[in-house]
Structure 1
Amino acid sequence: MIPKFLKKRIFKAPVSTDRTSETDASPIVTKPYANAPINQLYRKLSGQLLDVAVKPKLLGELPDFDSDEQVLRFYVLQDYSRSNSILIDLQTQEHNLPPALVGVNDAAHNIKENAAIIFLNHPSAKDNQLSPRLSRLVSAVLQYPELKVRLVPVSILWGRAPEKEDSLFKLLTADNWQDPSISKQLFNIGVMGRDTFVQFHPPQDLRTIINDSLKGESAGPNVFDLASKDLVSEDSSAKSSPATDSQDTESATTDNDVKTDAEKSPSYTLVAAADGNRELVRMLQQQLTIYLDKQRASMLGPDLSDRRNLVDKLVYSPAIKHAIELEAAEKGTSVRDARSQARGYANEMVNDYSHSIIRGFYKFLTWLWTQLYDGVEVHHFERVRDLATDYELIYVPCHRSHVDYLLLSYVIYKRGLSIPYVAAGDNLDVPVLGPLLRGAVAFYIRRSFRGNALYTAVLREYMHTLITRNTPIEYFIEGGRSRSGRLLPPKMGMLAMTVHSQLRQTNKPVVFIPTYIGYERIMEGGTYIGELKGKPKESESLIGLLKVGRKIERIFGNVHLSFGTPLHLSDFMTKFDVPANSLPSDRTDSPLDEKASAMVDNIGVKVMQHINKAAVITPVSLLSLVLLSAPKAALDENSCREQIALYQGLAQQLPYADDTVITDMSPQEIIDYGIKLKLIERTPHILGDIIQVAGKQAALLSYFRNNILHVFILLSFLSALVARNGRIKRSRLDSIAEQLYPFLQGELFLYYPAHGLAETLNKKVDSLLSHGLIVELGDDTLSVPESNSKRYQQLQVLATPVGQSLERYFMTLALLAQQGSGNLTESEVVDLCHLLGQRLSVLYADDIPDFFDRALFTSFISALTRLDYLQKDDETGILTFDHRINDIASHAKYVLTPDMMQILQQVASLNEEEITRAITEISNKKQRKFGRKR
């Protein structure tokens, strides 16, 4: 705490008596407001004392000022306090920004201000009093067309705990919405000084704001995206002009007994509060206030309700009352019993926000990331910040690791936004860890609740409550962690609940934030490979968490978070003609109609595509792609460098998407980095060192290769078509690619539309031609380079990655063709392909786990069904098909070697006895697994 004898000094600011002569040669000057040495000493002492007690953290980016020296710059703060004034002054000094507590004098425009701070609210201000400094600046801008004034809104948070609803201790909580009193300032400094945050928002041109506001009276939003109709107009009359009031409410350095600059300088006659400008100034002041209110709300989040009260509100809401009555009638129980069951469900899922837990996690994770990673790199976050004030944010990240939700929440919190409430599987609700995560805004949901109408109703209502309270939410659209490094097919349940809530009641518009998370090593790597190969999934527990803790000393490289292009729900509603507020607000069981259901499916696919667009091509993923495509996963170092440079060149020449990030490391730096992470190794040799995958790391590296496989898959496919055939007509190449593209698109969530694929293929071919990887012979014929050339070897390496996908397709098609139409169900085909993939991988594919991934076979069968190559009976699940299955398989000969096709045919050849035995064993295994879960 601050000693009593210093309290008055901290909150008493220095007085400016310095004036600049109007005949000064420089039109704009800034001077410290202190002719007397005592004032200079006072200001220095105040700053030093506050600097000792308060250690603010800067949020967001620093404002980008132009170099025009004729521009006047003022910082806009919402609430008056001397501690805020000194804090901002210290921050401007620290970050080399234009000073805040320095006089701003512009003789040419008759402007003399003793500080560059505008306060919008002052505890002693009258209800109708406008900001004098803002009034004078508005008047000056209107009078002088050449005058340039920039306003920099600034948010200051003394603590970041959201307000508690109905709290009796608001004066002693963290930052709230009331003007800070002297006692509150002392509490802030003494208790919250180490938990203080400052954010400078982008500079706004005052003339632009004025023009937009004047237009906004008839045309709509202004520069702050606020409609003038949303602003409550006050009585324009005032008892006195703010410019001549006895108290300058803007002056950060004036006591009540000190006259204002306007009074001391009769030449300063620009009175903005005249009848013609008063309403304009009032409107601007309200707009600035609302803007800063929204910024603060995006940082703190909504007010909190006590967990017990929230559960009560859920259980007694009209929607849950209706669900309880239906449950009681259907199950033949009493309403009281059904309500008790609903309360139990609510207690299972509802979070228990604890700011102390969140702060503890923040400090712990700050330490943990420095132990685990060389750095946490964040891309495109500003697009999220821009949306946070006016939209309901739904973060939809990919799911790579248990670390994901901690990492994402940490990054969001550190950058100044309210952390999202995270939907977590109830398997994480284990002793010790479960309550901690619940306090850090995790809410738990069951992994499966199909057929449980009451549980579904409670979860939908809880989601609806969060969304209508403008609480940011995060859920993993894949449902679980990817074991192969590819994106998993989206699960639509949480998406459908989000859409359902928005159609019941619209508060803020919903926007989805696709988020890519990429690691260079993952803690669960060995576990993932084991699970893909059939080992049972380990259940979460505190012991498991401690096991992970043993890996902290290992090197995990960098981790990347990339925020993709936002997806606005309103755009999809327009596209699918789904009207807003089209569902009853007091029901959770209203079904989505056909249009809304199709919209949900489309959103799911678009989210996955946008996650892939935001991919980060890391050094490790590039190394993995190069070395795993080489014979025996090894290349001489020079060839390895050249292949890496080739991949970088291809990705830069024709970027996969604008959001895709490519490492700027040189090829040699990438190789050295992989050696440092112990993923690859260098073997010295007299004819040139060999770079190869380190022992037993190939399976793990396939995970990181798959993170970026979508970026290069079409280039690989086109290279394979040319490489396997030696020569091929360009038109034939396009025809085969268009036939097989939908399956690659479904597997890797490629965003290129099928109807415009020809143009995309032409660009890819031109890129390969420009790099000399293929040769154009004329007469629309493409050919490989000279067989012994460097480019030919590079083409062979580039052609390899697509092979495994096509091998899986051909093996599945061969199985279907051999067993015949109408003999297998969809689940049986997937199970058998999974077994065949395991066998193929062990015998012929160096044990790479891609063939073990059941999701890849499910994706392929789904694509065949969607494209009507397969027809599924709704009752039995039996698959039927015609000769077109063989037609698709025939295209494999253009990419796969005859030897590989023969191997696949043999592997897929199963007699009736083998089929029966395999299906029985799989069925028994599933029953045992289900029994363990129960």
Structure 2
Amino acid sequence: MSFWLGLDRIGLALARALTAACVRPTVQPADYDPARIDAGLPLFYVLENSGLADRQALELLCRQRGMPGPNRAVRAPGLNERRAVLYLRHLQGMVFRRPSRQLSDRLARLVSALKQDPGLEVQIVPVAIFWGRAPGREASWLKLLLAENWNVGGRLRKLLVVLLNGREAVFHVGTPLRMRRIVDEEPDAARAVRKIARVLRAHFRRQRAATIGPDLSHRRTLVSQILGSEPVRREIEETLRREKISTSQATARARRYAHEIAADYSPSFVRVMERVLGWLWNRLYDGIELGHGSNLPELAKGNELVYVPSHRSHIDYLLLPYILYHKGLVVPHVAAGINLDLPFVGRFLRRGGAFFLRRSFKGNRLYSSVFEQYLAFNLRKGFPIEYYVEGGRSRTGRLLQPKPGLLAMTAVSYQEKPRRPIVFVPVYFGYEKLVEGPAFLDELGGRPKRKETLRGALRSIRALRGRFGKVYVNIGQPIYLAQVLTEQSSGRRRNGNGEDRRPEWLSGVVAELARRIMTGINSAAAVGPVNLLAMILLATPRRAMPEQALIQQIELSVALLRKAPYSPLVTITRLSGAEIIDHGASLGMLSRRPHPLGDVIALQGEHAALMAYFRNNVLHLFALPSLIACCFRNAPMLTPARLLELARLAWPYMRAELFLRWSDDELERAMQRVIRVFVDRGLLEHQADEDHLIRPGSGTHGASQLTVLAHGALEMLERFYMTIALLLSHGSGRLTRDDLEHQCRLTAEHLSLLYEADAPEFFEPSLFSNFIDRLLERGVVWITEDGRLGYDDSLHAVDDDARLVLSDPVRRSIQQATRGTERNEPALPHAATAGR
């Protein structure tokens, strides 16, 4: 007996040494606090499967974290256990391990002790251990042997996994669960044991799906399932009848579409790319700051996550999956444009989880059906998805108007077969420098967008030699699809046979989802040093300020963000004003011009237009303070009621363009918070009777700060006024919508050419188009019977209100330019782009 006991001790010592040498556990949540465990109660850990490797790995984790270990004995009244660990499944067999159907004897003994002693309490802590985090799939025997999956392997496989994947092990430590409540709820011990086991099985199943993904089929199997689905088979029949082709030809076409679309996810490739991307980020960036990501692991349990980020750069495709991988979460399947399916590059992207879609599905119902089923299959299997609601990268720094296609497919898929709750996760990306920055400026200036090619991709790699500052990634408030469906479509019906491709409720649901996603992204914005510098310096005539004045304006901007917060999820740089200036200079964006009266800080000439991009990233955060400041440009005194009236005229259109969170009803309260900060900082003062707000006198420091602050909203208001001025100059019923959009673009381009506007988006056609949409929605203008734009005398009142917001030179410049579209008259200097 002592001989076997000695061998047992030697085996444990060897296992402990092997574990210490090979295992480097990553703990989730990263901020797990051992104080959650009640030191006064008996503690047992729960592992999903029995095995020496998992138990010794848990022992290592406990030593590192200062927690009681699983190999200790537990002695308490009614309890006498050799170890403080119990297994949900016991594995049997020397070589080929199979789970036993018998429930844990130790769990049964714990329940029995609790039944016998009403004063006893026991806490259990589930710990899920994953070695390598590779989703289960039909792959080669070698990958199955080495990767963590949904199957149970043998002892040899476990040894190899620990040796090769031990440094990638992920430990999810759960919240302590007290057994007393469950035991008391059940009349007998056997039922209590089954209930606790059922709760633990559900916990481990959710954690496994959230960490390694669902049990995936091989790509070929998935394609076969798509082709066999009823909607695709029905569309194949329609195609062969419509085009007079054979069944095999129509099926082959559908198969080509499926292969063109489908990802070919490879866990081993993801592990390699994690190291490559880690090297790349260290080379390119000074750091990646993640905000509000701590709740993601919990959110992933039991929910199907759809990540919906802003789209600033091609780097987005790589950055979010990398971050999620480091959080211990499954790498999502990422929707990418078919233009990125380049030779070699496309194959690599597919291996990392990218699936491809065409820019338009119009006129190709078979392709549309195949894509919808591919998306639906992945959603139903529980694999996380990532797609860009904007449809493409923003060239201006603003969020683009959302595209409804993928949102509609997601909503229909869930409505037809709801399995797990679908949760949309808005994600904000903020960069201090853009790899594509110069290309964006060229495209905004009129140069056609270059088609993606392999040569272009290699050329882009050469551009990655510089330093690009920091990257900010903030996670927004989750949006639950079921909640939106309930609110927007209370009487909705199921599409039982799938023939009603676009049910009546869908448009309202998609519109509301898009609104919440876009406002959710903006509500999680990150304000970095470059954003603040751009916001301020672009508001000055020569893109320069005295250093002390710039520091004070930065402090004012930060005070507004902190004391009248746009959203609790907005993150703000912790650097001081002087440190922000130093940071901008280190990125080559600023120059310092020494002077006896104080140094002058200026934007470097080549950076001015690009800085408009970074200003636009956070323009929505300053929209309301800027609008209030605009109202005092030509009005030395206003009552709060008149100020609110003026703000309400512009707010609906600003809200639609910038995806602002406050509704018309919420505007007054938000304005009151901003006004309090203005008064505290000396930008406004209350008259003695508190009935009027008074701006500082001309030439004062407060007046200068107010002028700089007003600039943010001014270009928007100028565009609005330009559109209305063009309508008024031509008359009601004279212009079609296309005519008006064309005239707006020409007028804005003309003014920008004359006066060197710093904002390339000043003449962006989509901004005029969206403003006209809002005018039509609100009934300010309408489409006449002959397809032209009509209006009534109420539109003339806009000119009177514009006198308070826009200076006389600005209004005259716009009026001259709009009249010049008919008579080619010379325009006066455009104050908005010539220093204001």
Give me the TM-score of the superposition, normalised by structure 2.
Answer: 0.92
What is aligned with 1:613? Answer: 523
Q: Which deviations, in whole Å up to 9, do the C-alpha atoms of 1:734-754 show, x marking residues without a partner?
A: 111111110100110011111
Identify the match of residue 753 of structure 1 among 636, 645, 663: 663
Q: Secondary structure at the match of 1:552?
A: helix
What is aligned with 1:118? Answer: 86
Does the Cα contact within 8 Å between 1:63 and 1:203 map onto a contact in 2? Answer: no
Asked if 1:49 corresponds to 2:18, the answer is yes
Separation in 2, partners of 1:531, 1:765: 39
Asked if 1:510 corresponds to 2:422, the answer is yes
For 2:249, the aligned partner's letter is: D
What is aligned with 2:175? Answer: 203
Q: Secondary structure at the match of 1:471?
A: coil
Q: Secondary structure at the match of 1:103?
A: coil
Q: CA deviation at 1:890?
A: 3.4
What is aligned with 1:671? Answer: 581
For 2:760, the aligned partner's letter is: P
Q: CA deviation at 1:684?
A: 2.2
Identify the match of residue 174 of structure 1 among 135, 141, 147: 147
Identify the match of residue 822 of structure 1 among 709, 718, 733: 733
Identify the match of residue 98 of structure 1 among 51, 62, 67: 67
Separation in 1, partners of 2:183, 2:112: 15
Asked if 1:390 corresponds to 2:358, the answer is no
What is aligned with 1:159? Answer: 132
Report the identity percentage: 36
What is aligned with 2:157? Answer: 184
Does the Cα contact within 8 Å between 1:65 and 1:203 map onto a contact in 2? Answer: no
Q: CA deviation at 1:894?
A: 1.2
What is aligned with 1:193? Answer: 166
Alpha carbons of structure 1 residues 147 and 693: separation in structure 2 relative to 1, 3 Å: farther
Q: Secondary structure at the match of 1:155?
A: strand
Identify the match of residue 550 of structure 1 among 462, 470, 474: 462
Does the Cα contact within 8 Å between 1:378 and 1:560 map onto a contact in 2? Answer: yes
Separation in 1, partners of 2:683, 2:112: 66
Separation in 2, partners of 1:569, 1:14: 59
Q: Which deviations, in whole Å up to 9, do the C-alpha atoms of 1:827-846 show, x marking residues without a partner?
A: 33223322322222232254
Q: Secondary structure at the match of 1:517?
A: strand
Separation in 2, partners of 1:56, 1:779: 62
Q: CA deviation at 1:309?
A: 2.8
What is aligned with 1:77? Answer: 47
When the two chains are superposed, the root-mean-square deviation of aligned CA atoms in Å is: 2.7
Alpha carbons of structure 1 residues 168 and 835: separation in structure 2 relative to 1, 3 Å: same
Separation in 1, partners of 2:161, 2:812: 75
Separation in 2, partners of 1:154, 1:889: 67
For 2:145, the aligned partner's letter is: L
Separation in 1, partners of 2:823, 2:598: 54
Identify the match of residue 204 of structure 2 among 269, 276, 292: 292
Does the Cα contact within 8 Å between 1:165 and 1:303 map onto a contact in 2? Answer: no
Unaligned runs of 5+ in 1: 1-12, 16-35, 218-274, 916-934
Q: CA deviation at 1:620?
A: 1.4
For 2:317, the aligned partner's letter is: Y
Alpha carbons of structure 1 residues 872 and 136: separation in structure 2 relative to 1, 3 Å: farther
Alpha carbons of structure 1 residues 678 and 169: separation in structure 2 relative to 1, 3 Å: closer
Q: CA deviation at 1:408?
A: 0.8
Separation in 2, partners of 1:337, 1:711: 55
For 1:385, the aligned partner's letter is: P
Q: Which deviations, in whole Å up to 9, do the C-alpha atoms of 1:437-490 show, x marking residues without a partner?
A: 122111111112212222211211211212222221111000110011110110
Q: CA deviation at 1:277?
A: 2.0
Alpha carbons of structure 1 residues 635 and 14: separation in structure 2 relative to 1, 3 Å: farther
Q: Secondary structure at the match of 2:464?
A: coil
Q: CA deviation at 1:43?
A: 5.3
Does the Cα contact within 8 Å between 1:517 and 1:562 map onto a contact in 2? Answer: yes
Q: Which deviations, in whole Å up to 9, do the C-alpha atoms of 1:220-244 show, x marking residues without a partner?
A: xxxxxxxxxxxxxxxxxxxxxxxxx
Q: Secondary structure at the match of 1:193?
A: helix
**What is the correspondence of 1:772-787 to structure 2 with a 5 Å cutoff?**
772-777=682-687, 778=689, 780-787=691-698
Unaligned runs of 5+ in 2: 93-97, 826-836
Alpha carbons of structure 1 residues 354 and 754: separation in structure 2 relative to 1, 3 Å: same
What is aligned with 1:349? Answer: 261
What is aligned with 1:539? Answer: 451
What is aligned with 1:650? Answer: 560
Separation in 2, partners of 1:456, 1:657: 38
Alpha carbons of structure 1 residues 44 and 551: separation in structure 2 relative to 1, 3 Å: farther
Q: Which deviations, in whole Å up to 9, do the C-alpha atoms of 1:630-680 show, x marking residues without a partner?
A: 332222222211111111111111211121112222222212111111112
Q: Which deviations, in whole Å up to 9, do the C-alpha atoms of 1:842-866 show, x marking residues without a partner?
A: 3225442131322222221111111
Q: CA deviation at 1:336?
A: 3.5
For 1:667, the aligned partner's letter is: G
What is aligned with 1:836? Answer: 747
What is aligned with 1:525? Answer: 437
Does the Cα contact within 8 Å between 1:722 and 1:774 map onto a contact in 2? Answer: no
Q: CA deviation at 1:199?
A: 2.3
Q: Which deviations, in whole Å up to 9, do the C-alpha atoms of 1:415-451 show, x marking residues without a partner?
A: 1111111111111111111111122111111112212
Alpha carbons of structure 1 residues 55 and 760: separation in structure 2 relative to 1, 3 Å: closer
Separation in 2, partners of 1:43, 1:901: 84
Alpha carbons of structure 1 residues 139 and 454: separation in structure 2 relative to 1, 3 Å: same
Asked if 1:562 corresponds to 2:474, the answer is yes
Q: Secondary structure at the match of 2:512?
A: helix
Q: CA deviation at 1:873?
A: 6.4
Does the Cα contact within 8 Å between 1:122 and 1:179 map onto a contact in 2? Answer: no
Separation in 2, partners of 1:599, 1:648: 36
Separation in 2, partners of 1:279, 1:692: 74
Separation in 2, partners of 1:690, 1:698: 16
Asked if 1:795 corresponds to 2:706, the answer is yes
**What is the correspondence of 1:433-582 to structure 2 with a 5 Å cutoff?**
433-578=345-490, 582=494
Does the Cα contact within 8 Å between 2:183 and 2:189 map onto a contact in 1? Answer: no
Q: CA deviation at 1:76?
A: 2.0
For 2:162, the aligned partner's letter is: I
Q: CA deviation at 1:690?
A: 1.6
Does the Cα contact within 8 Å between 1:573 and 1:599 map onto a contact in 2? Answer: yes
Q: Secondary structure at the match of 1:747?
A: helix
How many residue pairs match? The answer is: 816
Q: CA deviation at 1:100?
A: 2.0
Q: CA deviation at 1:801?
A: 1.0
Alpha carbons of structure 1 residues 73 and 659: separation in structure 2 relative to 1, 3 Å: farther
Q: Secondary structure at the match of 1:862?
A: helix
What is aligned with 1:320? Answer: 232
Does the Cα contact within 8 Å between 2:25 and 2:171 map onto a contact in 1? Answer: no
Alpha carbons of structure 1 residues 890 and 201: separation in structure 2 relative to 1, 3 Å: farther
Q: Secondary structure at the match of 2:424?
A: strand
Q: Which deviations, in whole Å up to 9, do the C-alpha atoms of 1:895-924 show, x marking residues without a partner?
A: 111001111112222445989xxxxxxxxx
Separation in 2, partners of 1:753, 1:146: 55
Separation in 1, partners of 2:24, 2:120: 36
Q: CA deviation at 1:770?
A: 2.5
Q: CA deviation at 1:101?
A: 4.1
What is aligned with 2:832? Answer: none
Q: Secondary structure at the match of 2:435?
A: coil
Range that drifts further, 851-860 or 798-807: 851-860
